[in-house]
């Protein structure tokens, strides 16, 4: 069965989607994994990253979770071998209401909706929204692992505390197996302020932190505009080097967990 990874944090603009789309692509292209990227954001950034014209997509994660279609009917192949996407759309903004109206086991809807296709993939990566408590709860309940991208600044610590409390609740009530793979420092710059915050986060004992940091890099933004993973857009860029290093850490950590 597929290993499932939630990429999430408490605020937008910290690199969740950039991390999700590039990790998914590297795992497929470099490590020959069969990967499904699931877009759980109504803004559909992951979807538009790999599908240039996504306005007319008929079946999405919304139709899957509301029982209007099977997941196999909504999954779309990307141009990259081994990487598929389960797209999102603006309709997905209604999923919170749908979940709220469920009388029981609303936390498990995403997990149960994807059961038919779990055996078809090595890894399923959830690109989570910055808001929407019920869908994030669904993603964490369905996941084996969590990755937490954050920008090292004043606003990061409160978010880190909040998400750690949420994960503790998830472990207690719906998913005792969930494990934090690590906090990922993004938009890193080699200046006094960023170095100090990065060292502080790497020194804290609340949650593990990846050794790799993702440096601020214009090539990552350009890759978004060209709808390509960074290793395909510019394999010699700092962005490619950083995400390759990060992905290697992810694979090694998952392998260690599998060996236990």
The pairing of strands 179-188 and 209-215 is: parallel
Query: How many of the other CB atoms lie within 10 Å of CB of 79?
Result: 10
- The predicted pLDDT at position 154 comes to 78
- The predicted pLDDT at position 190 comes to 83
CATH label of the domain that carries residue 221: 3.40.50.300
- The predicted pLDDT at position 143 comes to 98
Element (H, E) at 147: strand 145-150
Task: Give pLDDT tens digits for 5-52.
Answer: 999 987 777 889 999 999 999 999 999 999 999 999 999 999 999 987
- The predicted pLDDT at position 244 comes to 98
- The predicted pLDDT at position 237 comes to 97
What domain range includes position 203?
3-259
Cβ neighbors of 192 (< 8 A, separation 6 or more) are none
Query: How many of the other CB atoms lie within 10 Å of CB of 38?
Result: 28
State the total domains in the chain. Answer: 1
Distance, CA of 254 to CA of 82 (rounded, Å): 19
Cβ neighbors of 163 (< 8 A, separation 6 or more) are 8, 9, 10, 148
Place of tokens 């996941």: 143
CA dist list (Å): 177 to 161, 182, 239, 251, 259: 20, 15, 32, 18, 15
The two structure tokens encoding residue 15: 């690199």
DSSP letter, residue 30? T
Residues in the chain predicted with pLDDT less than 50, given as ranges, are none
- The predicted pLDDT at position 205 comes to 76
- The predicted pLDDT at position 87 comes to 97
pTM metric for this prediction: 0.95
- The predicted pLDDT at position 156 comes to 79
């Amino acid at each position: 069965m597929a290993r499932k990874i939630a990429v999430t944090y408490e605020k937008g603009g910290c690199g969740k989607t950039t991390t999700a789309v590039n990790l998914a692509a590297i795992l497929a292209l470099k490590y020959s994994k069969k990967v499904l990227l699931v877009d759980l954001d109504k803004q559909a950034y992951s979807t538009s990253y790999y599908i240039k014209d996504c306005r007319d997509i008929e079946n999405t994660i919304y139709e899957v979770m509301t029982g209007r279609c099977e997941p196999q009917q909504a999954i779309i192949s990307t141009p990259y071998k081994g990487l598929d996407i389960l797209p999102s759309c603006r309709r997905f903004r209604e999923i919170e209401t749908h979940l709220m109206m469920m009388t029981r086991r609303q936390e498990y809807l995403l997990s149960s909706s994807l059961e038919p296709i779990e055996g078809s993939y090595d890894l399923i990566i959830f690109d989570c929204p910055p808001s929407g408590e019920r869908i994030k709860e669904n993603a964490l309940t369905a996941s084996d692992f969590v990755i937490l991208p954050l920008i090292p600044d004043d606003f990061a610590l409160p978010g880190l505390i909040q998400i750690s409390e949420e994960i503790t609740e998830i472990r207690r009530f719906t998913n005792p197996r969930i494990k934090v793979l690590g906090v990922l420092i993004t938009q890193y710059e080699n200046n006094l302020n960023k170095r100090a915050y990065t060292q502080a986060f790497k020194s804290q004992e609340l949650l593990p932190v990846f050794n790799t940091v993702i440096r601020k890099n214009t090539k990552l933004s350009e890759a978004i505009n060209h709808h390509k993973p960074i290793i395909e857009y510019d394999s010699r860029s700092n962005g490619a080097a950083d995400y390759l290093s990060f992905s290697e850490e992810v694979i090694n950590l998952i392998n260690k967990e599998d060996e236990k």
